[in-house]
Structure 1
Amino acid sequence: MAPRRTAISTAQKAALRARRRQHPNASLKQLADWFQGEYGHRLSSSSISEILSARYSHLDGELTEQQANAKRLRPKRWPELESALNQYILAAEPQMVVTEDMIREKAQYYWNNIPAYRGKEMPVFSSNWISRLQQRKTIREQKQQKQQSEQQGNNDENYAAQILAVRETLSRFSPRDIFSCGEASLFWKQMPDRSFSARNLPGVRERPRISAVFCCNADGSQKLAPWFVGMAKQPRAFTAAGVRLENLGLCWCANGKGWVSPQIFEEWVRWFDASMHGRQVALLLDHYSVHQAAVQRITSSNFPLQNTTIIWLPRSSAGRTQPLDQGIISTWKTTWKHEWIRYIINEFDKGRDPLVTMNVLKAVRWAVGAWQRDITSDIIQLCFQKALSTERSHPSDAQPLIAEISQALFGLQLSARIKDPMDVASFVHPADEIVQDNLEELDDLILSQFRPEEEQDDDQVVDDLAHISHKEALDALEKLRLYEEQQVDGDAQLILELYRLESVIKRRTFAGLEQTDMRNYFSIMA
């Protein structure tokens, strides 16, 4: 029998992070030895790395006694089944009438497919049990919201009334304290050829996908680190490059489908709430069932949000009221697809197959770069204004990039590298990347959160990359600085930043030397 897993309290995680801050050069093995000595439990290297990652940075502040002793809380009876059924009803009710027989059928299906119940006798899902399930707060609120939405309708007059109600609630907050959260899905190996767009890649059971959770405030002064959900917990591309994800300015999660599950989104909301310590902020969310299920898990727990007021956007006209859907995610995705199409062309020119050489590390780097660099405060402010306006509006497009992508598609067709090119709109914003409640995929999405993490990797072939030494980095930096100094339109601010980076690398070099003599000193300073 496998040993029972020992839950780690929030206080123990916080203590481990504090130990790392006190001893920044301690290895993972040394931290594991310390933790075992303190708490009598041995942590794996992957568990330690996860606890030290940015996703647990909220533990670096002061914790209440209740929070410090907290472990993952679960309802007592059939928690996975009830969570699955709640999520199914939340997603299905806006699209159909959910009957008692349907709930019973889903209960039987989920029971047979949730690993926690494997080998256990299936209970009788009586009418009384289903009635009690339907009386739970989540489902009752969902029905009330649905009835209200049906009564109000989707015409402009009622839509304006709903938006005005949201704006009145938001009037208590400054633009700096009004945040919106949105999701994007990305099939990062999708080719712009219809014959390739839907095929599975050799050796990969699913098309490689990542999902992203983005969040920013209304005045554009704060863009939070994006969360990405991939299909593998430790993709080979990350380990082969020796890259530390926290240095990329992101948080990484994983499940077998690359979906944002209710558990992941609950973790994100709590991380967001902790990030707002000392403030009272509003968080705008749409009625995506994953969001509703996550918020319900929070409100039914003993640990409510401390700094965040959740404000649900009107149901009318999906995407019309979500600021990130008014051009922010569109701009981000257009920028990413522009990088991808350029990469495809460059790889073909070098005689290489972009489907083989592309990996998830490149996809994530482009994704973070597009979010941090190309989503400007002006774009954010405009999109918030559009979303909260009572007038109809249309998402903005990155027209210059769209034109370049369109030209590139035409060039790939002329060179016979693709035979059946997609139109530019379908390539940049394919229908299967839209994040919405899709009944065809709903069961897979719900069950993915209860199944063991699949170790399916996102990549086919990844070469190990050499570890870059301090000296190699300094040599490359010197060439880059010289290049910029020689340009007619050289960027003085960039040159200063390169000097700053040089100082950082030299400090790291000195810190890594156990013994330093004059020869070391002059060889480094040369």
Structure 2
Amino acid sequence: MKQLSECRVDKSYDHFDVSSGWLYQFKSRFQVGRLTCHGHSGDVDESELLSNRASLAQLLAPFSPQGIYNANESGLVFNKQPNSSNVRLAPNKALKGGKDEKTCITTFHVVNQAGTDKRKLWVIGRAKTPKAFRQNCVNLANLPVIYWFNKQAWMLSGLWYEFLCALNDEMAIQHRHIALILDNCSYHPPPDKLPIDYTGPQPPVLTNITLIFLPPCKTAYLQPLDMGIIKAFKASYRHQYAEYMVERFNEYGETPQKIDILKAISLIATGWKSITQKTIQNCWKKANI
């Protein structure tokens, strides 16, 4: 606003104060809005993206929408509290925030282009048998997700090969050959290109899966799961989480500081179930591959 005051066109006004109200009316009249720049979008060559899409279309041409899949993982801070709320405060009383929760797990998502196969989520935690599993005598086979673990709670190369092996076997039994689109990530190595320090299980021989890797630094524009599917899942999870906290407050008069991994898995499964076929199809259309 200071810059606007100094750059006024009509110098006949000795005192021209640009107030917040004036600025609001000015922006409304001339349809001025605020845009936020994300990442390196300004550096992306549109002609290069067109070329990438043409190449992908050629690779995917032999496959039907039912046989084209996208897989990607995402971190989830499952105990993250809402960062704002409407509350009634006492006079001269400030609202104090709590310690920011950073415990993260990984969710692994797989969907096909037709939206007819939204596969069971993988959840990767840190503990082999979390305390909540032991206390509730959990049978992993009965969970609404597939649970794996490692110290980092990441999709490491060994788990990646486990996933590929299971998926390839399933497709072989069904006599299907599918394309699997992936981001170009070090944790998604092709079975014939092992990492130098790899010590995990034997990589699978892929007879029924064709791996198609997206060009580096282009996943934000070409990967369907990044077009809104994972974002919608996380929004649904946060909604389920908030509803659970409200239910606990209504029932017990207080909310728990944290939920355990077992409850988180229940909310995760519900959140993933809420993602509709139409949402998946729209995100594939947005990726335009």
TM-score, scaled relative to structure 2 = 0.72
1:173 aligns with 2:63: yes
Match of 1:287 in 2: 184
SS in 2 for 1:365: helix
The answer on whether the counterparts of 1:176 and 1:219 sit within 8 Å (CA) in structure 2 is: yes
SS in 1 for 2:207: coil
Match of 1:183 in 2: 73
Correspondent of 1:352 among 254, 273, 276: 254
Do the aligned partners of residues 239 and 294 (structure 1) sit closer, same or farther apart at CA in structure 2, a change above 3 Å counting? farther
String of CA shifts for 1:187-237, please: whole Å, max 9, x gaps. Answer: 1111224843535xxxxxxx4322111111110111222111011111121
Correspondent of 1:385 among 274, 279, 285: 285
Do the aligned partners of residues 317 and 197 (structure 1) sit closer, same or farther apart at CA in structure 2, a change above 3 Å counting? farther
Give the aligned residue type for 1:284. Answer: I
Match of 1:244 in 2: 139
Correspondent of 1:198 among 88, 93, 100: 100
Match of 2:48 in 1: 158
String of CA shifts for 1:59-113, please: whole Å, max 9, x gaps. Answer: xxxxxxxxxxxxxxxxxxxxxxxxxxxxxxxxxxxxxxxxxxxxxxxxxxxxxxx
Deviation of the 1:360 alpha carbon = 0.9
| Separation (CA, whole Å) in 2 of partners of 1:302 and 1:227 | 19
Correspondent of 1:261 among 125, 137, 156: 156
Unmatched tracts of structure 1, length 5 or more: 1-152, 200-206, 390-526
| Separation (CA, whole Å) in 2 of partners of 1:285 and 1:341 | 32
Deviation of the 1:302 alpha carbon = 7.2
SS in 2 for 1:352: coil
| Separation (CA, whole Å) in 1 of partners of 2:226 and 2:185 | 13
Deviation of the 1:178 alpha carbon = 0.4
Q: How does 1:65-464 map to 2 (within 5 A)?
A: 154-193=44-83, 195-196=97-98, 198=100, 207-277=102-172, 278-292=175-189, 296-297=193-194, 303-349=204-250, 350-356=252-258, 358-372=259-273, 374-389=274-289
| Separation (CA, whole Å) in 2 of partners of 1:271 and 1:155 | 38
SS in 1 for 2:221: coil
| Separation (CA, whole Å) in 2 of partners of 1:221 and 1:302 | 28
Match of 1:416 in 2: none
Q: Which region of structure 1 is more displaced relative to structure 2, 168-177 or 230-239?
A: 230-239
Q: Number of residue pairs matched?
A: 227
Do the aligned partners of residues 197 and 187 (structure 1) sit closer, same or farther apart at CA in structure 2, a change above 3 Å counting? farther
Deviation of the 1:355 alpha carbon = 1.9
Give the aligned residue type for 2:186. Answer: S
| Separation (CA, whole Å) in 1 of partners of 2:72 and 2:99 | 25
Deviation of the 1:296 alpha carbon = 2.7
The answer on whether the counterparts of 2:72 and 2:110 sit within 8 Å (CA) in structure 1 is: yes
SS in 2 for 1:296: coil
Give the aligned residue type for 1:388. Answer: N
TM-score, scaled relative to structure 1 = 0.41
| Separation (CA, whole Å) in 2 of partners of 1:260 and 1:212 | 9
| Separation (CA, whole Å) in 1 of partners of 2:220 and 2:44 | 13
Select the structure that is richer in helix. Answer: 1
The answer on whether the counterparts of 2:156 and 2:187 sit within 8 Å (CA) in structure 1 is: yes
SS in 2 for 1:185: strand
Select the structure that is richer in strand. Answer: 2
String of CA shifts for 1:307-340, please: whole Å, max 9, x gaps. Answer: 1000011224442211111111111110000011
Percent of aligned pairs with the same residue? 28
SS in 2 for 1:292: coil
Deviation of the 1:186 alpha carbon = 0.8
The answer on whether the counterparts of 1:190 and 1:196 sit within 8 Å (CA) in structure 2 is: no
| Separation (CA, whole Å) in 2 of partners of 1:284 and 1:295 | 17
| Separation (CA, whole Å) in 2 of partners of 1:317 and 1:302 | 27
| Separation (CA, whole Å) in 2 of partners of 1:316 and 1:159 | 11
Deviation of the 1:293 alpha carbon = 6.9
Give the aligned residue type for 2:253. Answer: G
Give the aligned residue type for 2:278. Answer: D
